């Protein structure tokens, strides 16, 4: 690793602030098609944003690991797991919401809402999703925390990495990778609980009685968590994730991004204790902001594709500013327009309401309201009628005309329901149901909880009541308990008149 000019001078001149010898990855030569990875050893930092990240990490991990264990009473014939993707029954349960396969558009709506939410947040405050809540960031942060606990902070880890293999180095590496694997297994293990009843599946997993697919998924997720969170780390964000490329189209000059204030910091350079700050910038070139960066970049070079907006460099620089007695905020959340306003001597301001944020926000509200309305009004009963195509109709011995239909009734309730079937649009129709006797002009069906009932129905009309070769008819299915109705239009076919 090359030595940056000026760093040694800074170390000698400012005993208050530790100076770090670093070479950010964005300053390294990139002549090769694929450059060899430079290892990054993020330094421990404390401050507002670091505390916020710890809090978000704790909440998101707790949600992920504990959510499958939350119970939700849906009655005797339904699973009591609050969040469950039930592939055998083809259902998705989310607390009081139950999505059937034909309602998959709700999931599409949710994905649209999530995408729009991401667009809105990015246009407001850059890649805060990446910096705080992205699973890659959260698990990488967790893995780095373990690494720091086992191998020490930045300098100790760098020394250990360069050191020859000894018993101590081997032992530390075994402990670190061992804990990483335990976390990875727990992560893969938690995932499968979203697809089966968690309290039932857990003992099955330990007694090797769980379905083979559970072990396959645990294995695959254990491997990916270990590789992506433990080994690949920042490379996932830089090379694998498409989001850094997309974000450029979502940011504008009023978006808040982590920025180095050149107007305050430059000219940078070493600063001796007690020396005047006249004629120089506040940056003492200590490189603390680079040392804590999990992406290994120097924010002083401007907004870069690698920056995940985690704001740890803000915490690092604020600590430095406190120590040297300069105001905080040399690195801060700022906008491009504000930097120009300062150059013109105008006060900085944050502009949240802009055309793109208004459009994103409005579309989110509209899509959200549509989804909410359809969720509230979603039917508990659906009926579908398929008319026989071959034969179109049958002429009986007394001259009356008969058509055959398949009636499908979807009972979305968790108890058995009885339904009545009546016809509208035909004169004097007679209904016959396969397996039932003497139905007359109204049929009755019973459908089991949470299932689809299929019935063969024949409708007979006297010949003098068949006015046309095709007459419209409506099948009306009525829930006998609460009067809920579902109607389905079809036709009754007869001979040409």
Binding interface with ligand SF4 (CB under 6 A): 258, 260, 265, 283-289, 292-293, 295, 297, 299-300, 307-313, 316-317, 320, 330-331
Nearer to ligand SF4, 190 or 310 (CB): 310
Q: How many residues does the chain have?
A: 497
Q: How far is the CB of 241 from ligand SF4 (least distance, A)?
A: 13
The nearest distance, CB 174 to ligand SF4, in angstroms, is: 30
- How many whole angstroms separate alpha carbon 338 and alpha carbon 348? 5
8 Å CB contact between 274 and 296: no
Least distance (Å) from ligand SF4 to the CB of residue 316? Answer: 5
Shortest Å distance, C-beta 257 to ligand SF4 = 9
Question: Measured from the CB atom, is 75 or 302 closer to ligand SF4?
Answer: 302
The nearest distance, CB 359 to ligand SF4, in angstroms, is 27
CA–CA separation, 314 and 307 (whole Å): 13
Is the Cβ of residue 269 or residue 462 nearer to ligand SF4 in the bound state? 269
Residue with smaller CB distance to ligand SF4, 151 or 285: 285
d(Cα 225, Cα 430) in Å, to the nearest integer?
A: 64
Q: Which is nearer to ligand SF4, 7 or 433 (CB)?
A: 7
Query: Smallest distance, Å, CB 231 to ligand SF4?
Result: 19
Burial zone of 341 (CB within 10 Å; 0-12 exposed, 13-18 middle, 19+ buried): middle
Q: Among residues 256 and 293, whose Cβ is nearest to ligand SF4?
A: 293
Q: If residue 358 lies in a helix (H) or strand (E), which one and from where to where?
A: helix 355-377
Residue 74: how many other CB atoms lie within 10 Å: 17
| Shortest CB 92 distance to ligand SF4, Å | 35
Name the strand (E) or helix (H) holding 334: strand 331-334
Could you give the maximum distance between any two Cα atoms of the chain, in Å? 115
Say if residue 391 is preceded by a cis peptide, omega within 30 of 0. Answer: yes
Which strand ranges, in their side-by-side order, compose the sheet holding 485-493?
443-447, 417-424, 470-479, 485-493
- Of 295 and 447, which CB lies nearer to ligand SF4 in the complex structure? 295
| Closest by CA position to 285, among listed 263, 262, 269, 302 | 269
**Helices 243-250 and 105-125: angle between axes, nearest 10 degrees:** 70
- Judged by beta carbon, residue 265 or residue 429, the one nearer ligand SF4 is 265
Least separation in angstroms between residue 54's CB and ligand SF4 is 15
CA distance 328 to 321: 6
């Amino acid at each position: 690793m090359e030595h940056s000019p000026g760093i040694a001078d800074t170390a000698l001149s400012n005993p208050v602030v530790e100076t770090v010898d670093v070479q950010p990855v964005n300053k390294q030569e990139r002549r090769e098609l694929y450059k060899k990875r430079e290892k990054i050893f993020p330094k421990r930092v404390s401050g507002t944003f670091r505390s916020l990240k710890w809090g978000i990490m704790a909440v998101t991990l707790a949600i992920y690991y504990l959510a499958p264990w939350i119970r939700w009473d849906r009655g005797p014939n339904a699973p009591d797991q609050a969040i469950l993707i039930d592939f055998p029954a083809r259902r998705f349960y989310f607390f009081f919401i139950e999505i059937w396969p034909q309602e998959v558009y709700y999931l599409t709506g949710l994905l649209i809402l999530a995408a729009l939410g991401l667009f809105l947040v990015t246009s407001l405050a850059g890649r805060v999703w990446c910096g705080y809540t992205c699973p890659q960031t959260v698990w990488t942060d967790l893995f780095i925390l373990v690494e720091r606990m086992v191998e020490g902070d930045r300098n100790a880890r760098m020394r250990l990495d360069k050191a020859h293999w000894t018993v101590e180095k081997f032992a530390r590496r075994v402990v670190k990778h061992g804990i990483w694997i335990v976390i990875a297994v727990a992560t893969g293990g938690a995932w499968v609980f979203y697809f089966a009843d968690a309290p039932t599946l857990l003992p099955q997993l330990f007694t090797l009685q769980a379905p083979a697919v559970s072990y396959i998924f645990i294995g695959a997720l254990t491997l990916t968590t270990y590789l992506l969170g433990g080994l690949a780390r920042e490379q996932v964000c830089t090379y694998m994730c498409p989001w850094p490329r997309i974000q450029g189209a979502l940011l504008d000059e009023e978006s808040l991004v982590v920025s180095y204030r050149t107007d305050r910091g430059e000219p940078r350079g070493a600063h001796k204790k007690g020396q005047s700050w006249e004629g120089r910038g506040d940056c003492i070139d200590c490189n603390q902001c680079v040392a804590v960066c999990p992406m290994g970049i120097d924010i002083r070079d401007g907004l870069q594709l690698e920056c995940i907006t985690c704001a740890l460099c803000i915490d690092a620089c604020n600590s430095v500013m406190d120590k040297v007695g300069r105001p905080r905020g040399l690195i801060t959340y700022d906008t491009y327009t504000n930097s120009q306003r300062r150059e013109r001597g105008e006060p900085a301001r944050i502009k949240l309401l802009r055309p793109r944020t208004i459009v994103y926000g409005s579309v989110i509200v509209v899509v959200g309201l549509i989804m909410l309305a359809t969720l509230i009004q979603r039917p508990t009963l659906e009926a579908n009628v398929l008319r026989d195509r071959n034969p179109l109709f049958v002429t009986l011995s007394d001259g009356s005309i008969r058509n055959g239909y398949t009636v499908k009734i979807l009972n979305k309730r968790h108890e058995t329901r009885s339904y009545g079937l009546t016809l509208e649009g035909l004169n004097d129709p007679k209904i016959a149901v396969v397996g039932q006797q003497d139905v007359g002009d109204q049929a009755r069906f019973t459908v089991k909880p949470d299932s689809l009932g299929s019935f063969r129905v024949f409708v007979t009309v006297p010949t003098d009541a068949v006015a046309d070769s095709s007459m419209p008819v409506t099948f009306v299915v009525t829930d006998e308990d609460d009067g809920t109705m579902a109607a389905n239009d079809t036709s009754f076919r007869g001979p040409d008149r």
